[in-house]
């Protein structure tokens, strides 16, 4: 079973031992999205956030890092997209000097903290950390606050192709670990031929 992230109630930079360099008010035109954003599905679903920011403003600044003459988003892409819809000129932000690798880890952890990724998306990010960044299951488990067993479970789910997961979502079914594992077994011929996901 997954363990709630140890920093569920903590500031993201504090949780990663990073110091915020300064709080800024950045022009939206000076911000670029993170090309390594872990989220694949639901990127455009920001209507609820738009309404909240319209009424209350931005409660939590986005986190950015300097990228050339621009600022790249580390955490808060949905808040950035909502600000664009609201036609804001600027957005409150906190700049970090963390490395690119550390920023990817923070982006993944922040999305998991907010529960805005489905298990397959988390699994893909875990695979990236393990294969490309040579992180061990133990190291990834510490980043996300998961057990090593759950890290390996999610990594296995990531073997599913994006279309299969997208079809499951379009069918209105839940992208739970149980459903995704059942779909994986079907795809790899280890389970029954018919797939009956839970609601």
Q: Which residues are catalytic?
A: 77
Is residue 92 helix, strand or coil?
strand
Copy the structure tokens of residue 192: 């029954």
Spatial contact of 61 and 74, defined as CB atoms under 8 Å apart: no
Please state the φ and ψ torsions of residue 192, each to the nearest 5 degrees. Answer: -70, 160
Rounded Cα distance between 158 and 155, Å, is 5
Q: Are 75 and 39 in contact (CB under 8 A)?
A: no
Helix axes 177-187, 119-131, angle to 10 degrees: 70
DSSP output for 111-180: HHHTT-S-HHHHHHHHHHHHHTS---HHHHHHHHT--HHHHHHHHHHTTS-HHHHHHHHHTT----HHHH
């Amino acid at each position: 079973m997954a363990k709630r992230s140890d920093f569920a109630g903590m500031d993201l930079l504090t949780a990663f031992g990073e110091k915020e360099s300064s709080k800024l008010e950045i022009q939206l035109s000076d911000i670029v999205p993170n090309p390594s954003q872990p989220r694949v599905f639901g990127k455009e679903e920001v209507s609820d956030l738009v309404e909240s920011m319209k009424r209350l403003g931005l409660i939590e600044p986005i986190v950015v890092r300097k990228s050339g003459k621009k600022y790249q988003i580390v955490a808060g892409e949905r808040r950035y997209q909502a600000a664009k819809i609201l036609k804001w000129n600027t957005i409150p932000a906190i700049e970090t000097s963390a490395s690119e690798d550390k920023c990817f880890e923070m982006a993944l952890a922040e999305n998991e903290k907010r529960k805005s990724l489905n298990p397959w998306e988390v699994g893909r990010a875990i695979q990236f950390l393990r294969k490309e960044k040579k992180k061990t299951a133990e190291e990834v488990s510490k980043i996300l606050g998961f057990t090593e067993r759950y890290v390996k479970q999610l990594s296995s789910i990531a073997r599913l192709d994006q279309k299969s997961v997208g079809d499951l979502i379009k069918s209105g079914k839940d992208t739970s670990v149980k459903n995704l594992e059942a779909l994986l077994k079907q795809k790899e011929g280890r389970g029954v031929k018919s797939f009956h996901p839970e609601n």
